[in-house]
Amino acid sequence: MNFYQMKRNAMNIGDELQQANEKLNDMLNNPQISTEDITAQQKVVDTVQQRFKIANAQLAKEEAKQKDNLVKESNQMDPQEKRKSAFAELVRKTMAKESVPASIYQALGDNDSTGGNKFLPKTVSTNIITGPQEHNPLRDISTVTQITNLEIPRLSFTLDDDGFIQDGDTAKEIQAKGDTVQFTRNKFKVKVGLSETVLLGSDANLAAYVENELTNGVTRKERNVAFAESPAKENEKHMSFYDASVGIKSVSGSDLYDAITNAVADLHEDYRENATIVMAYKDYLKIIKTLANGSTTLYGAQPEAVLGKPVVFTDAATTPVVGDFSYSQYNYDINTIYDEDKDVDTGIEKFVLTAWFDHQIKLSSAFRLAKVTPGK
């Protein structure tokens, strides 16, 4: 019997003892119950009490043994294995609704002096935020930071001997919105379902599974808010390239190729120089099919050679977005909270990550939306 089975056994006996005591109290309050029946129930309580005492003693002994083994193994582990083991224990403690020992936080890179910290260790939250498995293409071209109360200038640089901004749209936007961007805290949750086999499995498998699912959830949220056609939440409207409140200019063409190339040309040269095209792969295939006109040559060409600028694909981009994506930035608040939850419908236990982040399109002028207007 392993440690977690012993722990579950002790909990079951504890429940049994509580029920036996409750039954004894009910019998004592009932004058119709005979003394013999009460004595028999008292013996049941005493027996279960003894079993509970022995089970707890064995559990304490096994726990001490586990701690000794953990210290020995920890000294022999490489840092990566040590972190995996500590993170797996953090998940198990959370799911069991127990406080996480300070030693676990120390192994994960945080010194938790109180022993009751409910925040995800910074090393873990950083890995989740900066190392996604599911792909958000904007991560390769946008900026991702993890700074509390971040405020940055809207323009990345100015010249002390240049008293004007050459792009009129940019000048108007800065005058309307101000010359700084303030990142807000917008809460979202990622829930990872955990079966008992995963929870009681190896540290490496548990840590890899939970971290992988958390990163996938975080990445999907990033992608969804950036390309939401009609954001349902008021505080997410400013995060979407497509929301009218952001004010990104639409440039049209008779077909997709026309619209995209016109959008690139419409950008001010300061943005055009570093422009990237973000679009759905199916839309790119439509362009190739039209341009190829039966030839197979274009199908093997690099997208950049066809459209004149680097191309990034994501099905979320229902309308191609063209621009300098250094003016797109994600920022996460450093504090990330973990907790546990249960789906009452399925009975699946869940490890829950609560995070705060914001996506700011620092300059709408740096982007264009490429839209098709037939006959144009």
Are residues 68 and 195 located together in one domain of the fold?
no
Amino acid at 178: G
pLDDT in tens, 270-308: 899 999 999 999 999 999 988 877 667 777 789 999 999
Cβ-defined contacts of 17-24 (< 8 Å, 24+): 17/45, 17/48, 17/49, 17/52, 20/44, 20/45, 20/48, 21/45
- As a whole number, mean pLDDT of residues 92-100 equals 71
CATH code, domain carrying 128:
3.90.1690
HSE at residue 297, side-chain half, CA atoms within 13 A, is 6
Which residues in 362-376 are b (16+ Cβ under 10 Å) and which e?
Answer: bbbbbbbbbbbeeee
DSSP 230: S
Do 72 and 54 meet the contact criterion of CB atoms below 8 Å apart? Answer: no
Are residues 319 and 208 located together in one domain of the fold?
yes
Are residues 39 and 98 located together in one domain of the fold?
no
Residue 43 confidence (pLDDT) above 90: yes
- Quick check: is 82 in a domain? no
Are residues 55 and 180 located together in one domain of the fold?
no
- Quick check: is 83 in a domain? no
Q: Count of domains in the chain?
A: 2
Please report the pLDDT score of residue 344 as a whole number.
Answer: 67
Cα 213-315-124 angle, rounded to 5 deg = 25
Full-model pTM: 0.62
Residue from 362, 365, 361, 324 nearest 171 by CA: 365
- Quick check: is 275 in a domain? yes
Are residues 122 and 173 located together in one domain of the fold?
yes
Are residues 65 and 118 located together in one domain of the fold?
no
Choose between 79 and 332: higher pLDDT: 332
- As a whole number, mean pLDDT of residues 9-20 equals 87
Q: Three-class SS of residue 194?
A: strand
- As a whole number, mean pLDDT of residues 134-162 equals 75
Q: Which domain holds residue 50?
A: 3-76
- On average, the pLDDT of the chain sits at 80
Q: Measuring CA to CA, how many Å separate 286 from each of 62, 169, 208, 316, 333? A: 64, 32, 39, 17, 40
How far apart, in whole angstroms, are the C-alpha atoms of residue 110 and residue 108? Answer: 6
Crossing angle of the two packed helices 203-226 and 122-130, in degrees rounded to 10: 50
How far apart, in whole angstroms, are the C-alpha atoms of residue 321 and residue 316? Answer: 11
Please report the pLDDT score of residue 72 as a whole number.
Answer: 61
- Quick check: is 64 in a domain? yes
